Amino acid sequence: MRSFLPQITSHLRLGLRWPDGLRAMRHRNFRLFFFGQLVSLIGTWMQTTAQQWLVYRLTGSQLSLGAVTFANFIPVLLLSLFMGVLVDRLPRRRLLLLTQTCFMALAIILALLTYLERIQYPHIIALAFLLGIANSLDMPARQAFYIDLVEREELMNAIALNSSVFNGARVVGPALGGLIVAAMGEAPAFAINALTYLAVIGGLLLMRLPVPRRAATPGTGIGDLRRGLRYLISDSKVFGLVSMVALLSVVGYPFMVLMPAMARDVLGIGVGGFGGLMSAMGVGAFISAISLAFWGDRQRKGRLLVMSRGLFSLALLGLGLSRSTPLSMLMLAISGFAFITQLAVTNTLIQLVVPDELRGRVMSTYTWALGGFWPLGALMIGALGDKVGAGQAVLVSAGGCALLSLLGSLGFREIKEMSA
């Protein structure tokens, strides 16, 4: 047995066994990041599912679900552009170690308050806000970190594979979260999530990275921020990509805050069924990520982006009209496929265009557009759901996405022809 271990270790070290569709996995640092994320994100989705159910159990309000999302993402809107300056100035691994430690501490606090039956809705809002502050740094640092792990020509593959981790966890995490909540309550799901952060922290510590070289940055952080924003405004393609993410984050993407209400009030399937709905979206998203990893570089990315926006609108339309659990799960799977295709392609197109010295600041505008405008949309769609019902609110979201997709394809025609 011992004679085989050196051979196995050698193959894994050299990365000779990874096929072309998984070529980013040939890099040891990326493998550490990949598998650490896999464990951690399963816990994250367990906590997300358990927290959404806890909030709806405590309040019975769809607006309250949107308010938690608002508290979670409003720091991204307020802080992520400034955090991009830090990402360009400081070692990204060190920043990620800081954010992951903060996430773990907040999960422990949430687990303890819930276990001791002291948890109240204001506590959840406060913890969500603190989580959002950490996220405002974590999101741009994570997006800019890929270029430290792989070669430039493998960037699309790395982003797609990381999306596959995120969405593979989205399949497993909500299902496990729903089962754990049904059997033992929400606190164990939060505690397990806290433990899973050790995997990504360990992976980051084990990486062998060269000493980061930072260009001299004379002047103030505000000046650096202005440079990044000037670049964003001057490049019509990057501006168009970021603008559409911002608009869709208000109108379409936050429809997920309505899923507890869809599960309980529209479909009547309870917490176990709610976990199944969330997992169905994860299945579609996972298929999208794997497809992009193996075939994404063969497609004209701009056209793929436009088509996925239209598909997302159609999926929301079907979900809003559905009163059947299997049909709703199918529509959620399609929406997950289209959603991740949009984000992965947009992310790749921006990263391939932006200069390295501006990467952190420009990627912070992407995370600002995605995470910063999401809370506004979550509040709006949550309030609308309380007034007209979850199904009708999803239909309104579908119409808004369709209109934005049409306007985006007409207003930023050059994006459609982008291939790299």
Domain residue spans in the chain?
23-207+220-416
Alpha-carbon gap, residue 241 to 272, rounded angstroms: 37
Q: Residue-wise pLDDT tens for the chain (420 aa)?
A: 444 444 434 444 544 567 777 888 888 899 999 999 999 999 998 998 899 889 988 888 878 877 888 888 888 888 887 888 888 888 889 999 999 999 999 999 999 999 998 999 999 999 999 999 999 899 888 888 887 888 877 877 888 788 778 777 877 888 888 889 888 989 999 999 999 999 999 999 999 887 665 554 555 567 777 777 788 788 778 888 888 888 888 888 888 888 888 888 888 887 778 778 878 888 888 888 788 877 766 666 777 888 888 999 999 999 999 888 899 999 999 998 998 888 888 888 887 777 777 777 787 888 888 877 877 888 888 888 888 888 899 999 999 999 988 887 776 666 655 555
Alpha-carbon gap, residue 51 to 62, rounded angstroms: 13
Single-letter residue type at 339: F
pLDDT value of residue 296: 61
Q: How many CB atoms lie within 10 A of CB 21?
A: 18
User: DSSP class of residue 150?
Assistant: S
Residue 344: which residues within 8 A CB-CB, separation 6 or more?
Answer: 159, 160, 163, 288, 289, 292, 296
pLDDT value of residue 1: 42
Please name the helix (run of DSSP H) or strand (run of DSSP E) that holds residue 303, with its range, or none.
helix 301-321
Residue 7, exposed/middle/buried by CB under 10 A (0-12, 13-18, 19+)? exposed
Q: Provide the token pair at 209.
A: 């990275």
Residue 327: which residues within 8 A CB-CB, separation 6 or more?
Answer: 318
pLDDT value of residue 206: 94
| SS3 (DSSP) at 118 | coil
Alpha-carbon gap, residue 102 to 65, rounded angstroms: 23
Single-letter residue type at 140: P
Q: Are 340 and 285 spatial neighbours (Cβ–Cβ below 8 Å)? A: yes
pLDDT value of residue 15: 44
Q: Are 73 and 375 spatial neighbours (Cβ–Cβ below 8 Å)? A: yes
pLDDT value of residue 4: 40
Single-letter residue type at 232: L
Q: Are 161 and 34 spatial neighbours (Cβ–Cβ below 8 Å)? A: yes
pLDDT value of residue 297: 62
Tokens 């997302």 sit on residue: 312
Residue 120: which region, alpha, beta or left (left: phi > 0; alpha: psi -120 to 50)? beta
Q: How many CA atoms lie within 13 A of 365 on its CB side?
A: 24
Alpha-carbon gap, residue 169 to 81, rounded angstroms: 28
pLDDT value of residue 330: 95
Alpha-carbon gap, residue 251 to 377, rounded angstroms: 6
Angstrom distances, CA of residue 210 to CA of 23, 32, 94, 326: 21, 16, 13, 50
Domain at 23-207+220-416, CATH from 1.20.1250.20, 3.20.20.10, 3.50.50.60, 3.40.50.980: 1.20.1250.20
pLDDT value of residue 329: 93
Tokens 């529209």 sit on residue: 266
Alpha-carbon gap, residue 152 to 338, rounded angstroms: 25
Angstrom distances, CA of residue 378 to CA of 29, 224, 256, 260, 387: 36, 31, 9, 14, 14
Alpha-carbon gap, residue 182 to 191, rounded angstroms: 16
Q: Provide the token pair at 227.
A: 């440079």
Angstrom distances, CA of residue 199 to CA of 33, 42, 48, 394, 417: 9, 11, 18, 36, 40
pLDDT value of residue 62: 75
Alpha-carbon gap, residue 26 to 151, rounded angstroms: 11
Which pTM does this prediction carry? 0.72
